Structure 1
Amino acid sequence: MKIEKERQKLNQLAEQYGLRHKAVLHQSLLLDKLINKYNKAKYAELQRKQPIA
């Protein structure tokens, strides 16, 4: 899964550069965007499956 791949990359960058490095912060933002996109899609899917009433 792409999220897991990007999470691993974030962990590697954090180990290599420390948490405050710009590459780590950039990767963290990218991962956040992927997670938000996934959550939005999952929420929309759940809304479609719920009965109305």
Structure 2
Amino acid sequence: MREPKQIRDQIEQNRHELSRLAEYHGMQDYKVLQQSMVLDELINEYNRFKYNKHFMNRQPIA
């Protein structure tokens, strides 16, 4: 699994690429939709990492 910093950096790079593609091709273009899915996967990966880290660090209530 990648480190959170690597994932955040990739998210930022892909976000810029998505913006560039959308500006050039329009929001309905296949390339834009494909890039959006790539970005979604990166965000999901980052969120899974954060959730698992939070879940593992929880202290028992009792």
Same fold (TM over 0.5): yes
| 1:30 correspondence with 2:38 | yes
Structure 1 runs of 4+ with >3 Å offset: none
Cα RMSD of the aligned pairs, angstroms, is: 0.5
Number of residue-to-residue matches in the alignment? 53
3-state SS of 2:28 partner: coil
Deviations 1:1-53 (A, max 9, x none): 11000000000000000000000000000000000010001000001111022
Which secondary structure state, in structure 1, belongs to the residue aligned with residue 35 of structure 2?
helix
Matched, 1:42 2:50: yes
Q: TM-score, normalised by structure 2?
A: 0.83
TM-score, with structure 1 as normaliser: 0.96
Structure 1 stretches lacking a partner, 5+ long: none
Gaps in structure 2 of 5+ consecutive residues: 1-8
Higher relative contact order (CA closer than 8 Å, sequence separation 6+): 2
Q: Is the counterpart of residue 15 in structure 1 residue 20 in structure 2?
A: no
Q: How far, CA to CA, are the matches of 1:41 and 1:52 in structure 2? A: 21
